[in-house]
Amino acid sequence: QVGLVESGGGLVQPGGSLRLSCVASGGIFSGYIMTWHRQAPGKQRELVAVITSGGSTNYASSVKGRFSISRDNAKSTVYLQMNSLKPEDTAVYYCHAGGLRVDYWGQGTQVTVSS
């Protein structure tokens, strides 16, 4: 069993920055594909960023150049650095651990971008 706990969300003005963290407990973190997703009110959950066990990354076109995903295997933590935030980035952000027989979600952290 793998537990995922996100933190770092909050209220930020447009153009501001936040860094989300997701700490994993249990399992072998270094082997997981870690992803960040978000879900805005009334919308489907969407993939925001991916980082593989080898450190390769990919991003949704809507966040490319503004968001950066990274991982620290020694701390079993994945991060999402979010810069130049826009009101349309407002959502609950979730981290996910994936792999062979691995499919776990965190509880989510709210990000609100508003003046």
Tens-place pLDDT, residues 24-69: 998 889 889 999 999 999 999 999 999 999 999 999 999 999 999 9
Q: Is there a contact between 38 and 93 (Cβ–Cβ < 8 Å)?
A: yes
Give yes or no for residue 99 having a pLDDT over 90.
no
Tell me the residue type at 42.
G
- Express as a percent the part of the chain with pLDDT over 90: 90
Distance CA 90, CA 97 (A): 22
6 φ, ψ (degrees, to nearest 5)? -90, 155
Residues 6+ apart with CB under 8 A from 79: 19, 20, 21, 22, 69, 70, 71, 72
